[in-house]
Structure 1
Amino acid sequence: MEFLEPFTTIGGWISLLSLSAMEIVLGVDNLVFVALSTQGLPAPQRAKAARLGLALAIFFRLALLSSMFMLAHLSVPLFTAMGHQFTGRDLVLALGGLFLLYKGTQEIHEEIAPDDPAAPAAPQARGFFKAIVQIALLDIVFSLDSVLTAIGMADHLVIMVAAVVIAILLMMVAAAPLSRFIGENPSVKMLALSFLLLIGMSLLTESFGYHVPKGFIYAAIGFSVLVEGLNQFAGRARRKAARLKPPPRPDSPDKFK
């Protein structure tokens, strides 16, 4: 079959591996949003919502890849404001950035000032489908850079499609453990919400023509994760030491301190 011809060459496999790695790296911010979008759901539904949302995201990404004509027109200026020519891509990035800023701010507010427990809860079905739609639609924003990267790195559409599918399948595997870990560690959830604000601001800034290198964002996220990891290890060490410490004897002076 002619469309599988790129996989008969070493260059095709090298292109697939390098592009898959790039797609995975560019999907880190999307993975954080997927994990946070499912936090409001019951634990058994989180993995299912993440998988369904990412499954829909595959179709959106493949549609973007297949629609080269539409991608080409995303770079055509639509109007000029504040000295910047806005394109369709800029508008998508701006809307996505504003949504992430809103979502992150709303979630942080709920963490700091939680709702009244006596208030009626929203229907779980509505929250379940809302999470799926958010994951699928926001993937369009996150996938713009990765799709454009795929077009720039590979010459064959079949390699682009394979790399995108591989990246999203790996995200499906990683989303559930990440969501569970965030849910069990409130400090990690707050850190992830701050990442949403950082990513949202970078998207909004880029929509106005000020490019923020991804390396800076990933470096900030990586350093923050390292610090939080050290805090987690230190907390576990303190709890372990407290469990191993023998209780004070009745006649011990420590009893009266």
Structure 2
Amino acid sequence: MDLIALLAEPATWAALITLITLEIVLGIDNLVFIAILSNKLPAAQQQKARRIGLFLALGMRIALLLLIGWIVTLQAPLFDLGLAGTPGPHGEPTFETAFSGRDLILIAGGLFLLWKATKEIHHNIDGEGESGELLDHDKGLAQIAFGAAIAQIIALDLVFSIDSILTAVGMTDDVPIMIAAVVITVAIMMVAADPLARFIEKNPTLVMLALAFLVMIGLVLVADGFGVHVPKGYVYAAMAFSALVETLNIIGRNRRNRLRASQGGVQAARS
């Protein structure tokens, strides 16, 4: 089917809109990680790191889509430990003992995310950086080198890209539609990246919340790698609820600060 005929099909637009929505939802994790890492860099390098990270995510997704035949093979089991999982309520195993390439990538990515988020939480609480890192006490984050930030972004881009592409494959067989959805999604993320990073930077308490999100996402990736599939809707609903509560806390703090400032100005005027 040529491109014109493909665009004339209503199913094409329905698939495109669905894929864009799906990619945006799945891309939130990646965007939060990039925002946290870029905020650890000097101010002059932050936007550059976010742009490079998102362009790498775009390039990686398109490259994987062009290698879609190989990506699908990642779901084939590579080896089996031969252990029987604990039976579930219907007699099915609660975890898998046969691991595919996708499973190994998800487990490795999840463990990396757990390690990274836990280390940043430790820095945030104790205020101590490790060798080669300087702690920014205003942000509660250890500053890192530009190259180290890009390397970590690339590692997580790969994990999120493979998970995203394999999810998209189950929705449509048309690679051009998937590429269009990826390009549009990354363009939206480009627009949202800077405001999100600035919002996190201006509200330090959001750093801990975002790191907690990354811990949860890391656990979900590891569980998924072991065949324990946590519905993504539950994860994102929990994230949305927590973000809403923190937003209300921020609004309340800002109003109290403005009230104190106005009361202080009145007292100063009277004196």
Partner of 1:253: none
2:260 alignment partner AA: A
2:7 paired residue number: 7
1:158-169 matched pairs, under 5 angstroms? 158-169=176-187
The normalised TM-score by structure 2 is 0.84
Q: What are the within-5 Å matches in structure 2 for residues 202-241 of structure 1?
A: 202-241=220-259
| Deviation of the 1:68 alpha carbon | 2.3
State the partner residue of 2:196: 178
Listed one character per residue, the Cα deviations across residues 134-191 of structure 1 (whole Å, up to 9, x for unaligned) are 2222112112232122212223110010001111121122111111111121100110
SS at match of 1:75: coil
Find out whether 1:75 has 2:67 as its counterpart.
no
Shift of 1:59: 1.6
Cross-structure match for 1:109: 122
Partner SS, residue 258 of structure 2? helix
- Alignment of 1:247 with 2:267, yes or no, is yes
Once the two structures are superposed, what CA deviation does each residue of 1:99-153 show, in whole Å capped at 9, x if it has no partner? 000000111111112237xx8859xxx7212222222221121122321222122
Instruction: Say whether the 8 Å CA contact 1:50–1:135 is kept in structure 2.
Output: no
2:78 match: secondary structure: strand
The ranges of structure 1 where at least 4 consecutive aligned residues each deviate by more than 6 angstroms after the TM superposition are none
Contact 1:58 1:168 in 2 (8 A): yes
Corresponding position: 1:197 with 2:210: no
More helix by share: 1
Partner of residue 86, structure 1 = 99
Contact 2:223 2:229 in 1 (8 A): yes
3-state DSSP of counterpart to 1:79? strand
Please state how far the C-alpha of 1:75 moved relative to its aligned partner: 1.3
Residue 162 of structure 2 aligns with an amino acid whose one-letter code is L
The 1:242/1:14 distance shift into structure 2, 3 A limit, reads: same
Counterpart of 2:188, as a letter, is L
Shift of 1:89: 0.5
Whether 2:111 is the aligned partner of 1:98: answer yes
Could you tell me the percent identity over the aligned residues?
A: 48
Structure 1 gaps of 5+ residues are 251-257
Q: Tell me: CA distance 1:120–1:155, structure 2 relative to 1, closer, same or farther (3 Å).
A: closer
Point out which structure has higher relative CO (alpha carbons under 8 A, 6+ apart). 1
Map 1:135-146 → 2, pairs under 5 A: 135-146=153-164
CA contact (8 A) 2:56 2:157 kept: no
Residue 43 of structure 2 aligns with an amino acid whose one-letter code is: A
Tell me how far apart the structure 2 counterparts of residues 108 and 210 of structure 1 sit (CA, whole Å).
26
TM-score (structure 1 length as normaliser): 0.88
2:9 and 2:196 mapped to 1: Cα distance?
36
User: Residue 72 of structure 2 contacts residue 166 of structure 2 at CA under 8 Å; is this kept in 1?
Assistant: no
Q: Distance in 1 between matches of 2:12 and 2:38?
A: 37
Deviations along 1:212-254, one digit per CA (max 9) or x if unpaired, are 110111011011101101100110111111122232867xxxx
1:25-78 per-residue CA deviation (whole Å, 9 max, x = no partner) reads 111111111111112101221111111111112121112112122122111111
* Number of residue pairs the alignment of both structures matches: 247
Change over 3 Å in CA distance of 1:243–1:159 after alignment to 2? same
For 1:161, the aligned partner's letter is I
